[in-house]
Every structure is written in C-alpha cells, then in structure tokens.
C-alpha cells in the first residue's frame, strides 16, 4: 500500500464545476504539498500546508492532521485547470529534510 | 531571481552512452533533491544533496547512477551506460534550508534509443 493515496485517479468535469481531489497518507508528516503538472511541463508548487486551510485565487487546500487527510478544491473550474495534481508529503521527523513522498497524481480534464 | 534551472530540457542518448543532467538551484538554496518520473508512474525520490555532501541517496539505483553538488556550479546527476529503462523525466528541486519549501525545475526528459 502506498504511503500517499490520491482519489480519484482521473476526473473529468465541465467548465464551472466545483472540483475536489482527495489525499490520504499513512505516515507522520511535517508538511503536505499540492503540486500541479501540465503535460510535458514542469512541476509547480500550489500549496504547502501543515495545518488548517489555505486559499489562493480559485484554489483551496485543507488538511486534517488527526485524520491524515487533505483535500484540494477548485472553484469555478476552467479548461486551463486541466493538469495532473499531485499530493506529496514531507515526512516527520524533520531530520529527513525536504524529501517528498508523492501520490500517484490525479489527472483532471475540464471540458468547455 | 531565477527559479530552479535544469538543462538540457530534452536529452536523447543511445544505449550504453552516458547522460549528464544539470540542476542550478535557486539563488541562496543549498539543498538539492533529484526525483525521477518513469512513464505512466508517479514521482520517486532519488537523492538529497547539500553543498558537497550527499545526505540521502536511498532512492538511487545501486549501479550506474551518481550525483554530486560541488561547491561551485550546478548539481549533476550522472547516468552511465544508459539503458532503455532509464528513459524518464528527471526533476530537480531546491530549498533554502532543512524543511523549508522546495521549488521544482522544469525537468529533463531523457530518452534512450
């Protein structure tokens, strides 16, 4: 079983829909990242969370440390949001550095 | 302040050749991480380096792969005698200090023919 599990693996939505991507992890962490990867492109860091909730534009990320679960929400989705969204955790203890363990990613397609 | 720079973006090598992938971290960052993304798979940690030192290489294949981060210049991931299975995207990330946010480069896509 992977230490970081994402769901769903694939998600297709219509433009304007509210989207949720989930991430569960089984190890102790010091932080959780949400990353975005476009086809053939680089990786962009969207959020780094250690507790609570963060918002940036139409993106919202939440984390529940007790339940070892995080969600990424996209409001008013747009075709340009189509990408792979990756959840990654930084393990505790913190002596492991910033090394990340990744989920398999969620392929999001937003149709016009 | 330029981001993490990786070059080349695309690299084609014949089986048996050597591949050298370069990563220049963000200015002021002394921690570098290499990750590999095999086709249709997720990202996997390879190695963590801090200037002139390898801190954690638990994700590196035992043979043919090596990494360095010299006092001056970029970090280098070196793959000797490449095989088809080495074809992948290799990403570098850097951070300012232990357990601060890491920023990713655009990746190097290695194709072994």
Q: How far is CA B99 from CA A67, A92, B2, B79, B109, in A?
A: 22, 10, 21, 28, 27
Give which of A93, A88, A89 is closest to A106, Cα–Cα. Answer: A88
Q: For chain A, which ranges sit under pLDDT 50?
A: none
Arithmetic mean of pLDDT, B12-22 = 98
Q: Are B15 and B113 in contact (CB under 8 A)?
A: yes
Cβ neighbours of residue A110 closer than 8 Å, sequence gap 6 or more:
A12, A13, A14, A15, A17, A19, A77, A78, A79, A80, A81, A82
Q: Which pLDDT belongs to residue A2?
A: 85
Q: Which pLDDT belongs to residue B25?
A: 96
Q: In b/e form, how buried is each residue of B57-92, taking b as 16+ CB within 10 angstroms?
A: bebbeeeebebbbeeeebbbbebeebeeebbbbbbb
Q: Tell me: the pLDDT tens digits for A57-89?
A: 999 999 999 999 999 999 999 999 999 999 999
Instruction: Write the residue in B33, B48, B104 that is nearest to A45 by C-beta.
Output: B104
User: Rounded CA gap, A23 and A105, in Å?
Assistant: 9
Higher per-residue pLDDT: A93 or B43: B43
Q: Which pLDDT belongs to residue A98?
A: 65
Residue of A nearest to B90 (CA): A42
Smallest CA–CA separation between A76 and chain B, in Å? 27
Which residues are bridge partners to A10 per DSSP? Answer: A107
Q: Which pLDDT belongs to residue A95?
A: 59
Q: In b/e form, how buried is each residue of A83-106, taking b as 16+ CB within 10 angstroms?
A: bbbbbbbbbeeeebbbbbbbbbbb
Q: Which pLDDT belongs to residue A94?
A: 61
- Within the 38-57 window of chain B, which residues sit less than 8 Å (CB to CB) from chain A? 41-45, 48, 55-56
Between β-strands A10-14 and A4-7, what pairing exists: parallel, antiparallel or unpaired?
unpaired
Arithmetic mean of pLDDT, B38-49 = 91
Task: Read off φ and ψ for residue A93, nearest 5 degrees.
Answer: -75, 165
Tell which of A28, A31, A42 to mutate to test the B interface (max B CBs under 10 Å): A42
Q: Which pLDDT belongs to residue A100?
A: 87
How much is the mean pLDDT over chain A? 92
Q: Does the distance separating the beta carbons of B98 and A45 come in below 8 Å?
A: no
Q: Has residue B10 got a pLDDT over 90?
A: yes
DSSP tag of A49 = E
């Amino acid at each position: 079983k992977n230490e970081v599990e994402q769901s769903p693996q694939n998600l297709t939505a219509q433009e304007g829909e509210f989207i949720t991507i989930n991430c569960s992890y089984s190890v102790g962490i010091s932080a959780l990242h949400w990353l975005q990867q476009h086809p053939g492109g680089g990786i962009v860091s969207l959020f780094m969370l250690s507790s609570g909730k963060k918002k940036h534009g139409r993106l919202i990320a939440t984390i529940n440390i007790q339940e070892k679960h995080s969600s990424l929400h996209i409001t008013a989705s747009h075709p340009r949001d189509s990408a792979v969204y990756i959840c990654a955790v930084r393990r505790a203890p913190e002596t492991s550095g910033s090394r990340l363990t990744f989920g398999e990613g969620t392929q999001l397609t937003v149709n016009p | 302040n330029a981001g993490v720079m990786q070059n080349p973006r695309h690299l084609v090598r014949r089986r048996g050749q050597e591949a050298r992938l370069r990563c220049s971290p963000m200015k002021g960052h002394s921690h570098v991480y290499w990750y590999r993304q095999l086709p249709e798979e997720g990202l996997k940690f390879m190695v963590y380096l801090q200037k002139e030192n390898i801190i954690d290489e638990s994700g590196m294949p035992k043979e043919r792969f090596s990494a360095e981060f010299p006092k001056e210049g970029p970090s280098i991931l070196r793959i000797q005698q490449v095989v088809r299975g080495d074809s992948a995207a290799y990403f570098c990330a850097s951070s300012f200090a232990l357990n601060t946010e890491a920023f990713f480069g655009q990746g190097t896509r290695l194709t072994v023919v």
